[in-house]
Amino acid sequence: MRLITLSLSLFFCLTLAAQKTILIKCGKLLDSKTGIVSEKQNIFIRGNQVVSIGTATIQADSIIDLSSYFVMPGLIDCHTHVLLQGDITSEDYDVQVLKESIPYRTIRATKSAEKALMNGFTTLRDLGTEGAGYADVDLKKAINKGVISGPRMFVSTLAMNTTGHYPIKASDYSWELQLPKGVIEITGAEEARRAVRQQLEQGADWIKIYADRGYYRLADGSFRSIPNFTNEEIKAIAEETILSRKKVAAHAMTRDGILAAINAGASTIEHGSGMDEECMRLMVEKGVYWCPTLFVNEYVAEGRAKLGSPINQYFQQSIQATFKKAMKMGVKLAYGTDIGGYDWNLAEAKDFTYFVDWGLSPIQAIQTATTTAAELLGMQGKIGEIKEGSFADIIALKKDPTKDISALQNIEWVMKDGKVYKH
């Protein structure tokens, strides 16, 4: 027995010795939790983990000099679609799903994932493959095995809606055709449970649902929609998910989707552009996070209005007031862009500028994509912070984003898991 203990500890010593050490010299270093910016700090890394932070110069295998840079934790985007390449109209969407094979879309997705990493986003929660099956699980695997470069991925595979309520819309095509769908469509609680179990078996980290559709504005300016699930269906989904110790992310635009999703047990509300005060109160009470996806709404608003659907323009008119009210009431805000819903070549850090323009301090805006996003993912202390024991997910930029938030659109240096991806 003692012999085994001895050889085990020898094994660990050897493993530790085999892990390379790096010392990063930081000009400025942000503590994302407190918002404090310190000067002349050194980060000591072993393997993929931060060992210590301080002023001491510790002997390391290599030294990275970022003494003229602002250094901070890698960013987290809680709402992406690596398998989509921007869709303003339903035709843009249909073309991708109908004319691009899943292998082709996956090849494109490897580029999206790489772009996210180059944008300084070292972690993504990807919310649905939009008809590309379980290709997100493969992307995550390929990233984790080092086959391709990309962020740390949390995936939700197929995503769920009810029968007949998601593109591709059958009535846009000849009825004889068997068309693919952007989600798994279910009818009834039994099918809902089966769909959740299948997705979890295939490797879903989150279950994504589309809680409402058919958004409209009333004369008093408030918004309503049609809930997609029956009470039984949405409760079955949440129950199955939570039983397996996973969480539900709900696309929900107005109270008809938001209240149904939260009452069933959803942990995050996606978009929520037409939410009202009752939704905000319930979100605060239940600790539900809001990913407001602001830029994407602006991106699609005009094009959709031209085609006769002005609802995104209506959201655009009211979203600033909604955002301010939600912040005042204490709704937990997490950074989520819906990129993929818009072109991957556009800025992924654009939503930060809305947050600051609408009243958050730059550090509060940064926390939505660091400490708060880490909490949402159940990864607090491991990502979204640079501290003893955290993963070495670190980015650097020339300008100080606590003074000018738009600086986050120019990330110059990226490390994930202790490996440098952008020099």
Q: Nearer to Zn ion by C-beta: 80 or 367?
A: 80
Q: Nearer to Zn ion by C-beta: 136 or 338?
A: 338
Q: Nearer to Zn ion by C-beta: 338 or 393?
A: 338
Residue 306 corresponds to which tokens in the numbers above? 């031209």
346 Cβ partners below 8 Å, 6+ apart?
A: 295, 299, 339
Total of residues contacting Zn ion (CB under 5 A): 1
Which residue's C-beta sits nearest to Zn ion? 338
Tell the smallest beta-carbon distance from residue 87 to Zn ion (Å).
10
Cα–Cα distance, 42 to 29 (Å, whole number): 9
Tell the smallest beta-carbon distance from residue 14 to Zn ion (Å).
45
Tell the smallest beta-carbon distance from residue 293 to Zn ion (Å).
7
Residue 358 corresponds to which tokens in the numbers above? 């609408």
Give the contact letters, 291-330, x = binds to Zn ion (CB under 5 A), - = no: ----------------------------------------
- Cα–Cα separations (whole angstroms), residue 106 to 37, 83, 110, 130, 182: 40, 6, 6, 12, 15
Cα–Cα distance, 331 to 254 (Å, whole number): 16
Q: In whole angstroms, what separates CA 77 from the centre of its chain?
A: 4
Tell the smallest beta-carbon distance from residue 253 to Zn ion (Å).
12
| Pairing of the two strands 413-416 and 419-422 | antiparallel
Tell the smallest beta-carbon distance from residue 267 to Zn ion (Å).
16
Q: In whole angstroms, what separates CA 102 from the centre of its chain?
A: 22
| Locus of tokens 């655009």 | 316
| Locus of tokens 């310190």 | 38
Tell the smallest beta-carbon distance from residue 396 to Zn ion (Å).
29
Tell the smallest beta-carbon distance from residue 116 to Zn ion (Å).
14
Q: Nearer to Zn ion by C-beta: 293 or 390?
A: 293
Q: Which stretch binds Zn ion (CB under 5 A): 106-114, 145-153, 310-318, 334-342?
A: 334-342
| Locus of tokens 């009211």 | 318
Q: Which stretch binds Zn ion (CB under 5 A): 104-112, 143-151, 192-200, 335-343?
A: 335-343
Cα–Cα distance, 365 to 401 (Å, whole number): 10
Contact 37, 65 (CB under 8 A): no
**Does residue 136 interact with Zn ion by CB under 5 A?**
no
Contact 66, 26 (CB under 8 A): yes
Q: Is 229 exposed, middle or buried (0-12, 13-18, 19+ CB in 10 A)?
A: buried
Q: Nearer to Zn ion by C-beta: 31 or 338?
A: 338
Tell the smallest beta-carbon distance from residue 128 to Zn ion (Å).
6
- Tell me the three state secondary structure of residue 232: helix
In the chain, how many H helices and how many E strands? 13, 19
Contact 132, 106 (CB under 8 A): yes
Q: Which stretch binds Zn ion (CB under 5 A): 115-123, 169-177, 219-227, 336-344?
A: 336-344
| Pairing of the two strands 268-274 and 247-254 | parallel
371 Cβ partners below 8 Å, 6+ apart?
A: 32, 33, 380, 384, 385
- Tell me the three state secondary structure of residue 288: coil
**Radius of gyration of the chain from Cα atoms?**
22
Q: Nearer to Zn ion by C-beta: 41 or 297?
A: 297
Q: Which stretch binds Zn ion (CB under 5 A): 3-11, 117-125, 274-282, 331-339?
A: 331-339
**Does residue 393 interact with Zn ion by CB under 5 A?**
no
Tell the smallest beta-carbon distance from residue 159 to Zn ion (Å).
9
**Does residue 338 interact with Zn ion by CB under 5 A?**
yes
Q: Nearer to Zn ion by C-beta: 138 or 270?
A: 270
Contact 52, 75 (CB under 8 A): no
Q: Nearer to Zn ion by C-beta: 24 or 83?
A: 83
Q: Nearer to Zn ion by C-beta: 265 or 340?
A: 340
Give the contact letters, 273-292, x = binds to Zn ion (CB under 5 A), - = no: --------------------
Tell the smallest beta-carbon distance from residue 318 to Zn ion (Å).
20
Q: Nearer to Zn ion by C-beta: 297 or 371?
A: 297
Q: Nearer to Zn ion by C-beta: 338 or 385?
A: 338
Q: Which stretch binds Zn ion (CB under 5 A): 149-157, 181-189, 234-242, 332-340?
A: 332-340
Tell the smallest beta-carbon distance from residue 339 to Zn ion (Å).
9
Give the binding site for Zn ion (CB under 5 A): 338
